[in-house]
Chain A
Amino acid sequence: MAPKWGIKFAVYLITNHFGKIVAKVCENLLDHGALTLDLVIRYTELSPEHVKNSLLVLIKHNCVQVFVAQGGDEDGSRAKTQYMVLFDNILHRLRFPKFIEIVSGELDDKCAKFFEGLLRDGILNTKQMVDRESQGKENAVAAAAVRESLLKLLMARYVERCPLPEARIVEGEIITKKRGAKGAQDVIVMEKQIQLIQALQKIMQKRT
């Protein structure tokens, strides 16, 4: 549980980046802990659309973790999806310039540029990264080039692949939701999605 002033600071950071509506959702999640969508709507007294959008933004920027609590029916029809705010990741937003500085120092400028893109837009897949890079250029950037610099970032563990959208918690372990044999293939084929948690932690360790 985050301290009172910590919550205030986190809410201030979120207000600066995403506005008051998202900050209100974030504040309620920080105050009450993990909540379902219905409860978030009830506590914030915002319209469902606003709450959904702000949760999408928070998930996109890795400030909220989604998980399905144990219980409900066998087919998972009654299992409630819960949203848990990641307090540390919100505070890391203040250190973004420092992270870029470290990455640009260790790796080349291309990697730093990709890294900056990930910090700005949160979760991205390779297609989105290629599109991002080709913006404002006459010729589209080759996917292979993007993959190459992405691989460097992955090897240095500054970025990592996203887990599946809904993690299922079973007896304290976090297991990604099973989707059958076809689903497993999809996961393998699925394009690389990148996340920042591990990278940020590693950078912090190096600095301290």
Chain B
Amino acid sequence: MAGRGYGRGRGRGGFQSYARPEPFVLFPEDINLPDAKLGENVASMKHLIKWDLSFDSYFKAAPYLLDDTESKGRKRMHVERFSDKKKIAFTRDSLSQVLYYDEFVKELVPGKSKQMLSRKKFRWNPEADAKKLAFFEELEKKFLAEEGKDKKKKKEESEDEDENEEGKESEDDFNDGDYNQNVDYDDDDDDFNDVEAGNGIITLLMKMSIKILWRMIVCSSCGCFHTSMDYC
């Protein structure tokens, strides 16, 4: 059945055959190319070829041809032989010998970058500091004046109190120091982490490191960063 059906289809559609693949010939011999018409231009062609070759040879030896010198260096890692000496005859000029750097953008010129600030910007300005010092001195004077007034008032008040409560000389006299007041006093106790809760050693270490860091910051601020004066 299947074979008959196939046969019918063939009959209707006509006999189809694929073209035989012919072997591809790279250089067929039966083609005749016309002769090159050089004619009068032979001399100029020769000149052109000569110039072209001279350009090629120039650019091969020119300093503009950038080599990867590092990779060459790696290749020479092996023990030098006598035959290697002959190979290192040619040395190319460096770019800096040829280039005239005024013609180029600053960021490309070696040793200069556009982001580099001029020295004027970093210069220490003593006048700016003098103003600030004067300002702080004024503030201090004001503060002292206010403190003086407060003390006078306090003295007057305390004298009144003494008169009223002479007999009551209590432990309040010890309240002068910060230690007893327990304000702004660091007694090396961690307020947030309990030492006995298991993390004691870690918290202690943390504290030590913070102290050391703080000291380092203080020390560094003494000497090094004069330039930051301008930015204050």
A interface vs B, CB < 8 Å? 16-22, 37, 49-50, 52-57, 59-61, 66, 81, 96-98, 100-101, 119-121, 123, 125, 128, 162, 165-166, 193
In Å, the complex CA distance between A16 and B51 comes to: 16
In Å, the complex CA distance between A54 and B105 comes to: 13
- Is B107 touching A81 in the complex (CB atoms < 8 A)? yes
- Is A52 touching B110 in the complex (CB atoms < 8 A)? yes
Determine which of B47, B59, B105 lies in contact with A17 in the assembled complex, contact meaning CB atoms within 8 Å. Answer: B59
Does B205 reach chain A (CB closer than 8 Å)?
no
Does B133 reach chain A (CB closer than 8 Å)?
no
In Å, the complex CA distance between A60 and B65 comes to: 13
Does B208 reach chain A (CB closer than 8 Å)?
no
Would you call the interface of chain B mostly helix, strand, loop, or mixed?
Answer: helix
Does B114 reach chain A (CB closer than 8 Å)?
yes
Interface size on B, residues (CB 8 A): 28
- Is B66 touching A193 in the complex (CB atoms < 8 A)? no
Determine which of A18, A50, A120, A128 lies in contact with B100 in the assembled complex, contact meaning CB atoms within 8 Å. Answer: A128
Determine which of A16, A19, A37, A98 lies in contact with B108 in the assembled complex, contact meaning CB atoms within 8 Å. Answer: A37
- Is A162 touching B103 in the complex (CB atoms < 8 A)? yes
Neighbouring A residues of B103 by C-beta, 8 Å: 59-60, 123, 125, 162, 165, 193
Q: Tell me the smallest distance from the CB of A166 to a CB of chain B, in Å.
A: 6
Name the CB-closest residue of B to A56. B108
Neighbouring A residues of B68 by C-beta, 8 Å: 20-21, 50
Determine which of A19, A37, A49, A165 lies in contact with B104 in the assembled complex, contact meaning CB atoms within 8 Å. Answer: A165
On whether A101 and B51 interact (CB within 8 A), knowing A57-B66, A165-B104, the answer reads yes
In Å, the complex CA distance between A127 and B95 comes to: 18
- Is B55 touching A120 in the complex (CB atoms < 8 A)? yes
**Could you mark each residue 206-232 of chain B with 1 if its beta carbon is under 8 Å from any beta carbon of chain A, else 0?**
000000000000000000000000000
